[in-house]
Amino acid sequence: MTMERRPIRRGGIRSAGYDRATRELEVEFDSGAVIRHKNVGEEIARRFLSSSAPGSYYRDNIEEEYPGRRER
């Protein structure tokens, strides 16, 4: 299943998207890797997607807190 992502293009992150129904956050990195995190709250996703420093926000609030699965 492909999630619609929007461009981020800063902090090492190319794009990201959030699905409220499944509470999944998908992050595509500049390297081409795509990680999908489960059980991410809507507020956390909103803050990440609107952050002026998305790379730092991702490392500090998402990477270790929410299970991630590499999609590619």
Q: What is the DSSP letter of 20?
A: T
Is 1 inside any structural domain? Answer: no
Domain count, the chain: 1
Provide the residue range defining the domain that includes 58: 6-70
Considering the domain boundaries, does residue 32 fall inside one?
A: yes
Please tell me the predicted confidence (pLDDT) of residue 72.
81
Q: What are phi and psi of 9, to 5 degrees?
A: 55, 40
pLDDT for 6-65, tens place per residue? 999 999 999 999 999 999 999 999 999 999 999 999 999 999 999 999 999 999 999 999
Single-letter amino acid, residue 12: G
